[in-house]
Structure 1
Amino acid sequence: MAVADPTTPTNLAKAPQAPDRRPTVIADDVHIVYRVYGGARGKGSATAALNRIMRRKPGGGRVREVHAVKGVSFTAYRGEAIGLIGSNGSGKSTLLRAIAGLLPPERGKVYTDGQPSLLGVNAALLNDLTGERNVVLGGLAMGMSREEIRARYQDIVDFSGINEKGDFITLPMRTYSSGMSARLRFSIAAAKDHDVLMIDEALATGDKKFQKRSENRIRELRREAGTVFLVSHNNKSIRDTCDRVLWLEKGELRMDGPTEVVMKAYEEFTSK
């Protein structure tokens, strides 16, 4: 059922490359395995677990392995917006974390050209600081200079829309709703041009006006020679934003191809 990609890592050297088909991410047979160490339950087990962590030893408890990503291979190129779809627990977010360098593969390799940015990690905001202080903090975390942040500050605030019903940007972020926080994170991340930008469900927040602004910004990032990965359960957002889709199911890459082809197959699968 999978659509073969002639430029998978093993064939990359043989595949003809147009000048604008510059790879930004290569996943070569990537496996991600989580290990959960479990000992006896009951009184005192939390203390025993803490002692094992402090000794850097897993202890003698049962080890449960979760094979979250199983042999995934693909090549992403500059100018692409790639949707990641699949059931809950299919490995989408785990794969993004591996691309960002936050999870080492058990087997296989991930190669990136440039600095990958995972939305919500690079813009790591602090709840006790005001929104305006977090704009500065998030911008610095993504490598922007203070001059760049000052020049783009008002655009970031306006894009987020959090001041439309009051001066929320001057309040601590702990007073924000989850949707407001997510919109501000996206607005900070979208203010910078990225080699590889990975967005995990950010467009699920906010009203239709914000979603439209976000989708337009993703298109701009693509035109500026970046690569965008978008995880979403909103099929319309995937269709409106992405030209290619990776469908993961139970950790395996089930299909990789043009958006409409993959989305049609996925919707037929989920409707059964």
Structure 2
Amino acid sequence: MTDAQDNEIDFEIDPEDLEGGPVIAHELGKPSLLVDDLHITYRVFGASKVGGPVKEGRRSLLPRRLRRHGSAIRDVKALRGISFVAHHGESIGIVGVNGSGKSTLLRAVAGLVPPSGGAVYVAGQPALLGVNAVLMGELTGERNIVIGGLALGLTLKEVEERYDEIVDFAEIGDFVNLPMQAYSSGMAARLRFAISASAIPDILMIDEALATGDATFRQKSKARIDEVREAAGTVFLVSHSIATIESICSRILWVHEGRLVMDGPVDVVAKAYKAFVRENKQYRADLAVATG
């Protein structure tokens, strides 16, 4: 394991993550998503020395300080040949240590990141809800609810009808009249979830959003996700909490270093992933003792 990989790994497992049972499976519908040999490669500038000096007669757009030391460009392979099929009515958890490619996978499914290779086929409209998802910070929560609802395909009348429900669900009270840049990260995340869940999307993708909020809000979020799934939507959930994954999902995709390690029932994959995290947590402890 390299130092870079070691620094990226999240070894945290909460005690409650060691318990929990699988979600009761129900009949699935037709395929809603096909990911076929998906590759995502990012080009990073100024990251490391690559190549030699610029050849005579060629002009470089790089700063002179970088030209003296080579092009300083490297390719980062975020996803490496991932393939799977998801169905309507399915709830799928995505697990993996930090830097494994989980969020990149969701962004690719949402159409926010173009594939470097392979393809993504979607039957319907995906809605990505993430902790880092951006609404308009300078606008009030009220205006963001309207804009977000319209973006989800709701009519203005439907947004108005669901406005109070969204505000109550997000638990932001009178803050709805203030600019979102005045919100705490938790308040903003709750509002994003409430807006995204105000409609029944074909594919709902949640990136760590359930980590922001107390137990009551997480329970409300779970109930809403169940409603989406029962309405024949497909739900993807990225979370470091195995307990959350086990309580909501019936299937897990385990991604590591951009590759799909396991794809199967939640109890089977969760058990293997917990064992992997414990093993690497012990490795870190032993390494700290050896180098301490």
The one of 265, 269, 277 equivalent to 1:270 is 277
Deviation at 1:161, TM superposition (A): 1.0
Corresponding residue of 2:199: 192
Q: Secondary structure, in 3 states, of the residue corresponding to 1:102?
A: coil
What are the Cα deviations for residues 188-247 of structure 1, in whole angstroms up to 9, with x where unaligned?
000001101111000000111000000110011000010010000111110110010000
- Structure whose CA Rg is larger: 2
Deviation at 1:162, TM superposition (A): 1.4
| Residues 38 and 115, structure 2, Cα contact 8 Å, conserved in 1 | yes
What are the Cα deviations for residues 150-206 of structure 1, in whole angstroms up to 9, with x where unaligned?
01001101111112xxx1111111211000000000000000011011110000001
Corresponding residue of 2:253: 246
Unaligned runs of 5+ in 1: 1-18, 42-50, 54-58
Structure 1 CA distance for aligned equivalents of residues 113 and 157 of structure 2: 33
Structure 2 CA distance for aligned equivalents of residues 77 and 40 of structure 1: 42
Corresponding residue of 2:282: none
Q: Which amino acid aligns with 1:131?
A: G
Q: Secondary structure, in 3 states, of the residue corresponding to 2:77?
A: strand
* Cα pair distance change 1:39/1:64, threshold 3 Å: closer
Structure 1 CA distance for aligned equivalents of residues 224 and 210 of structure 2: 12
Q: Secondary structure, in 3 states, of the residue corresponding to 1:271?
A: helix
TM alignment of 1:1-272, pairs within 5 A: 20-38=28-46, 52=61, 61-120=71-130, 124-163=134-173, 167-272=174-279
TM-score, normalised by the number of residues in structure 1: 0.82
| Residues 156 and 191, structure 1, Cα contact 8 Å, conserved in 2 | yes
Instruction: List 4+ stretches of structure 1 deviating above 3 A.
Output: none
Structure 1 vs Structure 2: percent identity of aligned residues?
56
Structure 2 CA distance for aligned equivalents of residues 134 and 20 of structure 1: 34
Q: Secondary structure, in 3 states, of the residue corresponding to 1:254?
A: strand
Question: Aligned pair count?
Answer: 238
Q: Secondary structure, in 3 states, of the residue corresponding to 1:119?
A: strand
* Cα pair distance change 1:61/1:183, threshold 3 Å: same
* Cα pair distance change 1:39/1:134, threshold 3 Å: closer
Deviation at 1:52, TM superposition (A): 4.0
Deviation at 1:21, TM superposition (A): 3.2
Structure 2 CA distance for aligned equivalents of residues 81 and 93 of structure 1: 16
Corresponding residue of 2:57: none
Unaligned runs of 5+ in 2: 1-26, 50-59, 280-292
| Residues 48 and 74, structure 2, Cα contact 8 Å, conserved in 1 | no
Q: Secondary structure, in 3 states, of the residue corresponding to 1:257?
A: strand
Structure 2 CA distance for aligned equivalents of residues 100 and 84 of structure 1: 15
Q: Which amino acid aligns with 1:91?
A: G
